[in-house]
Amino acid sequence: MTRTKLKADPLLCAVAAAQGKVDQPEALFVALDEAVKSAIGHKLFTILTYDGDSGEAARVYSNLPRPYPTGGRKRLAPGAWTEAVLDRGEAYIGYTRDDLRTVFSDHDLIASLGCESVLNMPVRWRGRTLGSLNLLHEAGWYGEDDAAACLPFAQLALPALLMAISS
């Protein structure tokens, strides 16, 4: 009996290996940044945690810390985006600058960085969205295939997000 052997995805392996490093959560966040940039692409990459009790998001990682520093917090307004991403755990894809304008109050800053599309990929645990990977790029960059490809990377962020939430 012969079997077809699967090849390990080197990007997923790099992220998984980063979980074993001492300098957490930074090592994992940097590995995620590099892997999703290579696999999917982004100009701006941030990782947020969500506090369902306070209704706030906190930025725990950013590849562009000047315009988007870590530690930044914002209150999330109820609406279609929060219902999809936070409540139902669905990825959100914004294809154009107009899509971003309807969802993000900082759409002008986003556009100034050359970003006009977004993929927000929730990180879920036990039926709850604990955070998200947020990839932003030029208009029309992201599609449904990108959301599917991003899911395993997002879920590999889970231990670091749990650590960030509990500290």
Question: pLDDT (tens digit, 9 = 90+) per residue, 57-97?
Answer: 999 999 999 999 999 888 887 888 889 999 999 999 999 99
> Is the sign of the CA dihedral 56, 59, 65, 67 positive or negative?
negative
Q: List strands edge to edge, sheet with 56-62.
A: 73-75, 56-62, 44-51, 128-137, 117-125, 92-94
Structure tokens at 20: 């074993």
Average pLDDT value for the chain: 94
Q: How far is CA 59 from CA 10, 53, 71, 111, in A?
A: 27, 17, 5, 19
Q: What is the pLDDT of residue 57?
A: 93
Per the listing, tokens 């701006």 go with 44
Residues 90-145: pLDDT tens digits? 999 999 999 999 999 899 999 999 999 999 999 999 999 999 999 999 999 999 99
Q: What is the pLDDT of residue 167?
A: 74
Give the number of other CB atoms < 10 A from CB of residue 115.
23
Q: Is the pLDDT of residue 1 over 80?
A: no
Contact 135, 40 (CB under 8 A): yes
Report the range of poorest mean pLDDT among 14-23, 45-54, 118-127. Answer: 45-54
**Which domains can be identified in the chain, with CATH numbers?**
16-157 (3.30.450.40)
Q: 113 CB contacts (<8 Å, ≥6 apart)? A: 43, 44, 64, 67, 136
Q: Give, as one character, the DSSP assignment of residue 131.
A: E
